[in-house]
Structure 1
Amino acid sequence: MKPDRHARTMLPIPDRPSPGLTTYDAKDPDTAYPPIEPLMPPDGAPNVLVILLDDVGFGASSAFGGPCATPNAEKLAAGGLKYNRFHTTALCAPTRAAMLSGRNHHSVGMGSITETATSAPGNSSLKPNTKAPLAMTLKLNGYSTAQFGKCHEVPVWQSSPMGPFDAWPSGGGGFETFYGFIGGENNQYEPALYNGTTPVEPPATAEEGYHLTEDLADHAVSWIRTQKALMPDKPFFVYFAPGATHAPHHVPTEWADKYKGRFAAGWDVQREQTFARQKELGVIPADAELTARHAEIPAWDDMPDELKPVLERQMEVYAGFLEHTDHHVGRVIDAIEDLGVLENTIIYYIVGDNGASAEGTVNGAFNEMANFNGMAALETPEFMVSKMDELGTPSSYNHYAVGWAWAMNSPLQWTKQVASHWGGTRNGTILHWPKGITEQGGVRSQFTHVIDIAPTILEAAGLPEPTMVNGVMQSPMEGTSMLYSFNEPDTPERHELQYFEMFGNRGIYHKGWSAVTKHRTPWVMVGGAMIAFDDDVWELYDGSGDFSQARDLSAEHPERLHELQRLWLIEAVKYNVLPLDDRTADRLNPEIAGRPTLIHGNSQLFFAGMGRLSENSVVSIKNKSFSVTAEVDVPDGGAEGVIIAQGGRFGGWSVFVSGGKLKFVYNVLGIQSFETEAETPIPAGNHQVRMEFAYDGGGLAKGGGVTLYHDGEAVGTGRVGATQPMVFSADETTDVGYESGTAVSPDYTPQSSRFTGKIQWVQIDVGDDDHDHLIDPEERLRVAMARQ
């Protein structure tokens, strides 16, 4: 192996031309220059594939004893290693930010999700430029880099089509290629996709068999093949992060039907079955205990009999979803094997970015947005039964019940969001690298954490941590390389200290012991009493003989508990965890939270063609009166199509023209729909059309009256019975002159939604509606200029 000629601690690697003879004539026999050599990592540097699934509990995958078949995970594990004490942060965006940087989630500003960012450094969602991402380091050392799938690390005020794109994967994230979505979740059948930073539409419809996971795998396979065809000597770093198996649990019906009848015994029994299988496989120790069900989680036998078929179907759909995901992960791995480069490819298959999700309520959800709006009561047992056959299909936005999440975390306590207990943070992880791992089918039990991945990859590639990137001095990575454990199964663990915190749920691990306290319950989204942090009850566990945190030793070892509590506080200060913040609805308000917002004042102007605007890019019309005014040119024979729409099939509103008539539809969670239509068509020519909504007031989610206008003359009235108070969607957007994603109203489809006339402008005004029905042109200009 030839010595590496580059000094790689400063990136980009400085160009340093060597001095020598400069001739006058290139034909002079003394003219000599070394050939141009493409930048490459050190000889032997491996390809890297990091697979990160979403919302999969420790006990879900068959590779770790669960009921959901994951044959590709099993195959990979049979040729590599399973890590049964690998940990995440208990939530998606923080786990991803930590993994991609090698630093703790608060160190890179991602104490929570981007939508609840505050001005506190640990929760700002802004990654300091002193903590360059792994992909950037690898790219600047000669790797080809690509990401496919989910990116939930973009600050919400930077997620509009105007950027800035510093935090986007292909902007400042270090990935040369990105194909996927920005945000926490997406509709698997009709996703909002980006190619780089450019919005793109899915290549097919759900009716034509489209599914996002398959599309992502198609792009990943194509990219890997192209990269090896054109740059066979250059290693790649591929980050494959499907939105699966995050809600909505969308999967073709035939995959869900494979599991019919498999979950009839319920979640208590399923948990016991998984526990037995885990011991059989050796993925948990023989002396591990199955932790008890907490009182906040209902027993299967206590669930209403009429709801049980729906609950069974929820789990059948989820199991099919996970198996379907593993199938497409297998296609990506097969492509690498077919190219003959599997031998020197490090594959991390991380089965979940946190524990299984308990955000679907005690009964599960047909539309999970109901719970996020505090409106879960709309989904009555009768309603759920009526929708059972739609679960997993394009007409649903479903999530399973809390009990299933608890079962999928067997044998551990609690779920996603609960960073105090292993049920929120322990995720089965598989490592495969034939060139670097001698044992096949081994289990590793050293304590490891998601921040360990970046330093592991750098060590395996023979690359130093950079001290300077793009002119900025770098702070050290906070993870510990796992390379020492690859071929030494019994070597002592090196990652001996790790804090955890999410929404006030917190814990500390130190040399086998863990001290933890659960502060809040994940499925209580809105309301619910929150006790003071100092009143939280701490528990103590000895991990050397208690794999699952089954035996609380706080009463027996109070001094040990106090020592760990103090240690948690020291780590919290070190990594920007303080101040603790358990606010929920307040953090959704940018003014209260202290984060920037694109929208100021009570008015916003739009123009035709603007689209893919996230909810944070549009003035909020929730819980207040508002109006929508547009100047349109209508051709002879009338117009059709969307003027402006926000949200989609599972919640939102739309002002559009149908049959030549102005129409307003307010869709509450895909459960209730309220329509108001003009009595007469819009005449041909240039006109100002308007919709006014007069909010009833008296609290959140109230209804109101609707009036439609042509040029200031009332042409229709109606009523909206209820509204969504918190959020319309996690993935749907606002579009002008068309609607992307799913349609708010069944009167049109996204494909048929384009407005057939011409839109000059559209304006949303919120407030008391104490203004004239026409907007003065000078006023429009003043508003537009004030927003520059």
Structure 2
Amino acid sequence: MTDNKSAQGADKLQRSSLPIPDLAYTGTVTYDATSPDTHYPPIAQVYAPEGAPNVLIILIDDCGFGATSAFGGPVHTPNFERVAALGVKYSRFHTTALCSPTRAALLSGRNHHTVGMGGITEIATSAPGYNSLRPNNCAPLAETLKLNGYSTAQFGKCHEVPVWESSAVGPFDHWPHPGGGFEYFYGFIGGETNQWYPAIYENTSPVEPWGTPEDGYHFMADMTDKAIDWTKQQKSLAPDKPFFTYFAPGATHAPHHVPEEWADKYKGKFDQGWDAVREQTFAAQKKLGVIPPDAVLTTRSPGIPSWDEMSDDIKPTLAREMEVYAGYLEYADHHVGLLLDALEEIGELDDTLVYLIIGDNGASAEGTMTGTTNEGFTINHMEDIETDEYKIAHTADLGTPKSYNHYAIGWAHAMDTPYQWTKQVASHWGGTRNGTIVAWPNGIKARGEVRDQFAHVIDVAPTVLQAAGIPEPHTVNGVTQRPYEGTPMNYSFDDAEAPEEHTTQYFEMLGNRAIFHLGWTAVAKHKDPWLASSHGLDDDVWELYNVEEDWTQSNDLAAEHPEKLAELQRLFLIQAARFNVLPMDTRSAERFNGELVGRPELVKGTSQTFYSGMKRMSENSVLNVKNKSFTVTANVTLPEGGGAGVIIAQGGAYGGWSVYLNEGKLTFAYNLGGVATEYTRSETTLSAGEHQLRVHFQYDGGGLGKGGSVTLYDGDVELGTGRVSRTLPFFFSMDETVDIGSDLASPVSSDYGPTGNEFTGKLAWVRLDLGDDDHSHLADPNHLMQIAMTRQ
């Protein structure tokens, strides 16, 4: 490997049109292969340009600028600092303020609206900037690298698959494998997953974790092991072929799941509260040089309570929320370190361009003012159950398999120190500025330095291509490509004083918007992260900041420089029109009606039939049984003794329902958010042979989340009756699924465990039929939007 800022690229291959065309043989063709005149050149494989580095992109989830010790935060991240010691920190690197958009921009080199990801996939519309469909004239970075001789793999989170394409039948054009250019994928599809009981895909097939939490299983460790194994195999079998690894853990997105000993490392470290932590972080950031000495700590964003406003009774619970989060982040750092150790072990670390992006947006303010032990409570409007007293009583559950937890909004604000606001707020740096570290020992001479040039997530792809000596392709798979919209960062690798080259950048998310241009920003916050849109876009108040003099956007100059503000507002509109931002969409309820907004829906009608072996079907893949009557019918053949095991289950230990046989008796269990499970059981044991078993749930009506009566049948024979006193009105689970013939991941019912619950009889089919008494239209549209944003 040569010591330079980009690969030599001295080969003669035409790399602008991909795949690289096969050239026909034009020499003499002989009659007999044994003739001395017979000659063909050896088969030529496609190799990356000489000196092209391996590429490792690490993207941490939901982590603010002020969280890690690498950027002055309270969480110990020695391996992030290890990467920084090998390269340079970028103190002005930016994301889009939200998950799916940042990831789509990162992997394409284009703005998020250009590739259809103006929001998360669950609220896609038919507008080009918001349809969640990356157009084929914006080929992903992985595809370009693969067609230039790289091995490619993705591990962890993928939240860019359109919801109507996220089932086991695809299509897979927008999955990491094969449509995203990755030859191998091991991870989960969607905004988050239970780290103890994850919903994992290997390529496009659902697979189960190797164990349970009791066995020591955690997804962060699992995906790291998979990444290490893949990398070692790749270098063993093709040592001359560089790799592109995209390592995107669910950490530190909620649920904040972590082994208890990691959280306990921070006992007592946050008892002083989020305001004091913010001040301590601010001082450390100045000392580190990731903010300038004259930077100003911005005031607490409106609507976020001070620590002193919180009840003394709940403060220990709030502190534990942050201890758990800190442990989770350090646990993620530890596994990043294991991956780096593996690269060092096989001699590849020095030849690897490492991008460590610490957050796909600012820290998440989606956990309520006092946090939550289970996001399902917030999603299902169950605040009457999850009172402060409930949270206090369940403090010990935080981070464990008994929780699905998130921290309080005040902690999110502290983790975004020194900036205003949080995730979702694209108008201010708290939502978009993420600490980023770039290292490449054999390609970057600088060590342990800070770079202040402005950069954006769309800059990563062109930077990688320039480092590899690969031209930006003008044609991929026969489609003329839209040029990259990012700016290569290579110019700044070894020159801290280089004039910044990315001089204009728009931001927009849910109506929150901004424009950066030549040292100024104009910003307009449209809505708070925890509230829905309440007014028109034209009623938003614009602010103006001179970012060369005011690093943290603390001094609004709009009144002093109205001409400059008007100039930047006009520039924002120009950029918005250019990059598919218009029309901006702040609607709530309408975006959940696929027919209204032009979004395909995978499942329609009132009846759906499942067959044995179908599993891991998300709530988008099955009929919605909430707030209405429904019937489950199963055609089964039972063995001698009556049989056992799950026929169909939806959800898991944090909410759901299950139909199963327990000691030969038909049983229906309804789990209300993990708080209580109600059972209806048959009075007699079923005999061996063929049966048509039926469970009818008759909804009480009168609103959302009401109860209902349950009747069990064997054919026309009534087996038992029961009641469900209350139901979940909006959501069963973030990631747990409908499974036929078993209950995967955490169990809905305590009658069986997370494994060994398979149905022991023969299952021909299961049918789900809906009643005509749907009350879902009574849902608050603002709450529906809150549900969607919590899921990303």
Q: Secondary structure at the match of 2:755?
A: helix
Per-residue displacement from partner, 1:422-443 (whole Å, max 9, x unpaired)? 1111100000012221111111
Map 1:228-243 to 2 at 5 A.
228-243=235-250
Find 2:706's aligned residue among 676, 684, 702. 702
Map 1:240-639 to 2 at 5 A.
240-524=247-531, 530-639=534-643
Between 1:570-579 and 1:681-690, the stretch displaced more is 681-690
Per-residue displacement from partner, 1:235-285 (whole Å, max 9, x unpaired)? 111111111111110110000000000000000000000000000100111
What residue in structure 2 maps to residue 783 of structure 1? none
Between 1:446-455 and 1:689-698, the stretch displaced more is 689-698
Per-residue displacement from partner, 1:397-432 (whole Å, max 9, x unpaired)? 111100000000000111111111111111000000
What residue in structure 1 maps to residue 74 of structure 2? 67
Q: Tell me the amino acid that sits aligned with residue 277 of structure 1.
A: A
Confirm or deny: 8 A CA contact 1:635 1:685 kept in the other structure: yes
1:725 maps onto 2:732 in alignment: no
Q: Tell me the amino acid that sits aligned with residue 593 of structure 1.
A: V
Query: Residue 166 of structure 1: CA displacement?
Result: 0.9
C-alpha distance in structure 1 between counterparts of 2:593 and 2:140, whole Å? 29
| Normalised TM-score (structure 2) | 0.95
Q: Tell me the amino acid that sits aligned with residue 421 of structure 2.
A: W
Find 1:161's aligned residue among 151, 159, 168. 168
Between 1:716-725 and 1:341-350, the stretch displaced more is 716-725
Find 1:642's aligned residue among 626, 639, 646. 646
Between 1:744-753 and 1:123-132, the stretch displaced more is 744-753
Consecutive unaligned residues of structure 2, counting only runs of 5 or more, are: 1-7, 775-792
What residue in structure 1 maps to residue 748 of structure 2? 744
C-alpha distance in structure 1 between counterparts of 2:274 and 2:403, whole Å? 23
Query: Residue 725 of structure 1: CA displacement?
Result: 2.1
Query: Residue 223 of structure 1: CA displacement?
Result: 1.1
Find 2:13's aligned residue among 6, 11, 15. 6
Find 1:219's aligned residue among 216, 220, 226. 226
Per-residue displacement from partner, 1:473-517 (whole Å, max 9, x unpaired)? 111111111111111211111111111111111111111111112
Find 1:147's aligned residue among 143, 146, 154. 154
Q: Taking structure 1 as reference, are residues 519 and 674 closer, same or farther at Cα in structure 2, changes over 3 Å only?
A: farther
1:209 maps onto 2:216 in alignment: yes
Percent identity between the two aligned chains: 63
C-alpha distance in structure 1 between counterparts of 2:98 and 2:168, whole Å? 26
Confirm or deny: 8 A CA contact 2:628 2:773 kept in the other structure: no
Confirm or deny: 8 A CA contact 2:701 2:773 kept in the other structure: no
Per-residue displacement from partner, 1:54-77 (whole Å, max 9, x unpaired)? 001000010000011110110110
What residue in structure 1 maps to residue 765 of structure 2? 761
Q: Secondary structure at the match of 1:616?
A: helix
C-alpha distance in structure 2 between counterparts of 1:111 and 1:700, whole Å? 31
Report the aligned-residue RMSD.
1.5
Q: Taking structure 1 as reference, are residues 56 and 631 closer, same or farther at Cα in structure 2, changes over 3 Å only?
A: same
Per-residue displacement from partner, 1:697-745 (whole Å, max 9, x unpaired)? 2322222222222212333222222222222222111111111121111
Between 1:255-264 and 1:103-112, the stretch displaced more is 103-112
C-alpha distance in structure 1 between counterparts of 2:502 and 2:533, whole Å? 36
Confirm or deny: 8 A CA contact 1:694 1:769 kept in the other structure: no
Confirm or deny: 8 A CA contact 2:9 2:469 kept in the other structure: no
Q: Secondary structure at the match of 1:326?
A: helix
Q: Tell me the amino acid that sits aligned with residue 649 of structure 1.
A: A
Q: Secondary structure at the match of 1:435?
A: coil
Q: Taking structure 1 as reference, are residues 2 and 744 closer, same or farther at Cα in structure 2, changes over 3 Å only?
A: closer
Confirm or deny: 8 A CA contact 1:150 1:182 kept in the other structure: yes
Q: Taking structure 1 as reference, are residues 739 and 385 closer, same or farther at Cα in structure 2, changes over 3 Å only?
A: same
Per-residue displacement from partner, 1:534-588 (whole Å, max 9, x unpaired)? 1111111111111111111111112222221222122112111122222334423
What residue in structure 2 maps to residue 108 of structure 1? 115
C-alpha distance in structure 1 between counterparts of 2:131 and 2:384, whole Å? 33
Q: Tell me the amino acid that sits aligned with residue 199 of structure 1.
A: P
Q: Taking structure 1 as reference, are residues 361 and 224 closer, same or farther at Cα in structure 2, changes over 3 Å only?
A: same
Q: Tell me the amino acid that sits aligned with residue 375 of structure 1.
A: M
Q: Secondary structure at the match of 1:207?
A: helix
Q: Secondary structure at the match of 2:442?
A: coil
Confirm or deny: 8 A CA contact 1:101 1:132 kept in the other structure: yes
Query: Residue 17 of structure 1: CA displacement?
Result: 2.8
C-alpha distance in structure 1 between counterparts of 2:543 and 2:253, whole Å? 30
Q: Taking structure 1 as reference, are residues 572 and 672 closer, same or farther at Cα in structure 2, changes over 3 Å only?
A: farther
Q: Tell me the amino acid that sits aligned with residue 554 of structure 2.
A: A
Query: Residue 14 of structure 1: CA displacement?
Result: 0.5
C-alpha distance in structure 1 between counterparts of 2:9 and 2:610, whole Å? 60
Q: Tell me the amino acid that sits aligned with residue 184 of structure 1.
A: G
Query: Residue 378 of structure 1: CA displacement?
Result: 2.5
Find 1:652's aligned residue among 646, 649, 656. 656
Query: Residue 769 of structure 1: CA displacement?
Result: 7.4
Q: Taking structure 1 as reference, are residues 642 and 339 closer, same or farther at Cα in structure 2, changes over 3 Å only?
A: same
Q: Taking structure 1 as reference, are residues 671 and 570 closer, same or farther at Cα in structure 2, changes over 3 Å only?
A: farther
Per-residue displacement from partner, 1:199-234 (whole Å, max 9, x unpaired)? 111112211111111111111111111111111111
C-alpha distance in structure 2 between counterparts of 1:540 and 1:767, whole Å? 55
C-alpha distance in structure 1 between counterparts of 2:717 and 2:565, whole Å? 71
C-alpha distance in structure 2 between counterparts of 1:521 and 1:764, whole Å? 39
Q: Secondary structure at the match of 1:312?
A: helix
Q: Between Structure 1 and Structure 2, how many residues are aligned? A: 767
| Normalised TM-score (structure 1) | 0.95
Confirm or deny: 8 A CA contact 1:517 1:536 kept in the other structure: yes
Q: Taking structure 1 as reference, are residues 178 and 6 closer, same or farther at Cα in structure 2, changes over 3 Å only?
A: same
Query: Residue 18 of structure 1: CA displacement?
Result: 4.2
What residue in structure 2 maps to residue 773 of structure 1? none
1:178 maps onto 2:185 in alignment: yes
What residue in structure 2 maps to residue 22 of structure 1? 29
Confirm or deny: 8 A CA contact 1:540 1:554 kept in the other structure: yes
What residue in structure 2 maps to residue 774 of structure 1? none
Consecutive unaligned residues of structure 1, counting only runs of 5 or more, are: 771-788
Q: Secondary structure at the match of 2:291?
A: coil
Between 1:72-81 and 1:11-20, the stretch displaced more is 11-20
Q: Tell me the amino acid that sits aligned with residue 540 of structure 1.
A: L
Between 1:702-711 and 1:214-223, the stretch displaced more is 702-711
What residue in structure 1 maps to residue 780 of structure 2? none
Q: Secondary structure at the match of 1:378?
A: coil
Query: Residue 394 of structure 1: CA displacement?
Result: 1.0
C-alpha distance in structure 2 between counterparts of 1:305 and 1:213, whole Å? 34
Query: Residue 674 of structure 1: CA displacement?
Result: 2.5
Q: Secondary structure at the match of 1:20?
A: coil
Q: Secondary structure at the match of 1:745?
A: coil
